[in-house]
Structure formats: structure tokens, C-alpha cells
Amino acid sequence: MSELLKRIRRTSLHARIMKAEDTIPFFRDGMDLGWSGFTPVGYPKVVPLALADYVEKNNLQGKMRFNLFIGASIGGDVEDRWASLRMTDKRWPYQTGKVVQQQVNDGTVRMGDKHLSLYAQDLAYGFYTKERGGGFDMGLIEASGITEDGAIILCGSVGVAPEVIQNSDKLIVEINTAIPSFEGLHDIVMNEKPPFKRPYLVTRVDDRVGSFYVPCDPDKIIAIVESRETDKGRPLSPPDEMSEQIAANILDFFQFEVKAGRLPKNLLPLQSGVGNIANAVVGGLVKGPFSDVNVWTEVLQDTMLDFFDSGKLSFASSTSLSLSEPGFKRLYENWDKYTSRVVLRPIQYSNHPESIRRLGVIAMNTPVEFDIYGHANSTLVNGSRMINGIGGSGDFLRNAYLSIMHSPSTRPSKTDPTGITCVVPFATHVDHTEHDLDVLVTEQGLADLRGLSPRERAKEIIARCVHPDYRPIMEEYFERARHECCGKAIGHEPHMLFKVFKMQQHLAERGTMKIANWD
């Protein structure tokens, strides 16, 4: 308790300290709840789990349901527990839990999806809760402290916590005393409304234009609960041979661009998505020839610590420290070494087009699939089954100096030794259009699409990115579509519209995408 009292520097709030189970009466069915948290870091843990225990104990499954508005994914210990008890009715904008994902796809949970910078902005505008006049009934925030004037010191992520604090009628704050205070790591800029929004005057990755704290009216805080639950983080397996080959293709491309004078020797600020390929790319940079590199991204994974240790990474801006448990342990043991070169920002700022474009960010993200003209699908398998959500990939890809998407050429399948092709004639859902992407990469090679017409792009993608087992099928599709469409003077981006998904149909019916022909 003594550590908790030290973390709450506004002493009048000490009277609002209570146990997690004492907050249960504050909740009622149908509430709109805003939470802190981003890629499972910095989310409230003890209060949501206490409420889940209450629902389970009193057989209230499906009778206490809530609309959740969170920065991105949170830990499965909370996300899937709530979903399994049918406590989640609506969920914005990104999730990674197995149970909640199943419920999104079977219709139990209503999920919405949007580019994260726009989501954060629209959250503050009240668009998602307009039926109740905007805002939230309650905000749940994990914090590492409260200042003398009641401002909130966040933890290892920012996400949409500022918007939640700003727009919630009431707040429950979990103070996590199991982790260090993150005071000084944040650069908080609150959302303003048009037409007089001020620009983000950032010209360097290490610029700061905001505050260390999220301003908060102390009268909103109805409860403070101590948490001793640490973030479980995002474990990642070591990069496989395919991921390392994709990374090697990207690093070769960077060196070529430096020699051509299109990139400086220390590159430009890097954005890297989540997952093993992103981890492999950063791992390649650790061993690569580039130094004095900066990062302007959304999440920092474990290999970013390796990048710092190599002496080649100078500074990193992010909205979340998406580390594994060993990664957090390493961070806490070398606190000053790492945190002196890191800043955490809200997603409406970290992902804002203005900052991304001004800094000339190089964006790198992984899709579900991309097609021969350069459209990419990041969210929906076969155009229908939601995986996680678009996240911030579109924020970066649409505005970057270089927009790169990397993917295996195939993904494993139980019914075909080659697997399912990730390069298709026509993406079954389009999150990133041909207008957004510059470079596509698989372990087979890299296709630089800059300055190419659609038919030129198709030839480049098929030749360089498609797995050899699928290349003849793709070549046949393109040549036949080109012949038919150009002959009718409709061939700018030729497609055989009624045959284009034949490979997916063949997979569903026969377990393989290797069709004999397109007839």
C-alpha cells in the first residue's frame, strides 16, 4: 500500500482506493466502456477479471454485455475470458483472442474496423457512441501513477487512452505497482476538433511536442485499484528460413536504393508491423550495414532491444512496447539504457499521415494476400472471415515514403504440400489498393512497382513473388485475361471476372489451389 500511495501524488484521491471486487456495482448491462491498452500492453487487468468472476459466479453469462472501445488488442486472459462469458457485445477496432475472433465470425460479437489513426480521432469526435451523445459511460485505465493535479501517468502503451480519459463520464484507474513508473516516456497530445486543429510540428523522430501526462479531471475518478499483474506481452518464435529470406530481400533493396541516391546511408525512419517477418527484418538490420537508424512505428518488439544493443538504432517512437515477458524483464533491468531513447505517443499522433509523410517513413507490413496488380488484403480470409483487423498498416502504407508489403509466397496447408498461394489473381478483400503500395516481397523475390502500369506490375509480381508451383497458373491467367480484355478495349487492368476466384473454389472443393486450367 505504501508504494501505491506514493504513486498517487494527489492525496485527496487516496480516499477512492478500493479493491477490484468493490467496483462491481459501478457496472451495468449495455454500458459503453473505453479501455487503455495496445497490443497486449497497458490494459486494465484486475477490475475486468473481477467483473468476469462475478458474472461467472452469478450465472450472468450473456446478461451483462458491454461495448468495448480499446486502442487495439489486449491480453487473452481478459479478452477471451470476457468473450467466453458472452460479456462482449461490440468490439472496436482490433482483437487477437481466439474466442473473441470466433465470436466475431459467428455473429456473437459485433466488431468494427478502421485505420487506427482515424479510429482514435473519430472516438474523440463521439462517432462510435453517437446514440448516447458521444463519449463513454466508463473508462478503465491502467496507469503507473497520478500527478498532483490529477493527470494520469500511463504505462507501456498509449493507444487511445487520452481519448478515453477525455471522453468518459467516469473513470476507474488501476495503478500497476509491479512495474516501474513510466513517467517521462510519453509525449501526449490531446485530440482537438476542426476547423482549428494545430499541426504536429515534428521534424525529427526524437522531437517532443506534448506533455508527459494525460490531463484528467480528478472528479471523474470514482475508483483506484492497485494492480500487481504484469503484461504478458507478445511471444514470438524465432524467425524461420522463409522470414529470413524475405528480410534479406528487403535489406538488399535498401542497399540498392542507398547506392542509387534514393535513400540516405542511415535509411529513413522505419515502421515495422508485428509478427515473425517484421521481427526478422529488424533482426537483419541488427546484423546489416546501416547505422544511426531511427524508428517511427506503432509497436516495438523484442528485436528492437537487440537493435539498440547493436548501437545501430539511435531513437524509436512508438505507441506501445509490445515486448514478450523476457523482453519486459530485459527492459526493466536496463531501464535507463533503453528508455532514454524511446518515446510513446497516442495513435492519433504516432499514426497520423502528417507525421508519417513529413518524416519520410519506410513502412513494412504483412498482408493475408496480395494480387497481381498490387492490391492487398490484411483482414479477411476469403473476403469474409475476420482475423484481427486492419490496425495501423493502412495509416503507414498510404502515407509512407516507401510502402512495402512482405509475405510468404505460400502458407501451409494440410491438403497440399506446397500450401496455399498468397499471391492471387484478385484479392478477395482489398484493404490497401494498388495506389498505396510501392514494393511487394516474398521469399521468392522483390517486385518494385514504382512507375509501372498495371499490366507491367502484373508481370513483375508474377515473375518475382509467386511460388514456382503457382507461377504457370498465374501466367496463364494474366495472358488469357490480357488477350480477352485488350481485344475488347477494356484491358487497362485485365480480369476474367467470372473466373477470377476459381482457385479459391478449387481449394474449397478439392483441397488445393492448383487448378488444371482456367476453363
C-alpha cell of residue 150: 490529477
Cβ atoms of 175 and 68 within 8 Å: the answer is no
- Range 494-502 contact pairs with CB under 8 angstroms and sequence separation of 24 or more: 494/455, 495/425, 495/426, 500/425, 500/426, 501/426, 501/428
Amino acid present at 172: I
Bin 382: left if φ > 0, else alpha if -120 < ψ < 50, else beta: left
Three-state secondary-structure class, residue 263: coil
CA–CA distance, 404 with 439 (Å, rounded to integer): 5
Would you call 416 exposed, middle or buried from its count of C-beta atoms within 10 A (0-12, 13-18, 19+)?
middle
Bin 477: left if φ > 0, else alpha if -120 < ψ < 50, else beta: alpha
Give catalytic status of residue 298 as yes or no: yes
- At which residue does the C-alpha cell 499483474 appear? 229
Of 75, 110, 113, 107, the residue nearest 93 (C-alpha)? 113
C-alpha cell of residue 420: 496455399
Q: Which of 79, 142, 244, 298 is catalytic?
A: 298
Amino acid present at 384: S
If one counts every other C-beta atom within 10 angstroms of the C-beta of residue 171, the result is: 24
230-187-392-140 Cα dihedral, nearest 10 degrees: 50
- Adjacent-strand bridge partners of 66: 88
Please, what's the b/e burial string for 485-501 (b: 16 or more CB within 10 A of its CB; e: otherwise)? beeeeebebbbbeebbb
Of 367, 438, 399, the residue nearest 118 (C-alpha)? 399
The residues carrying an active-site annotation are: 298
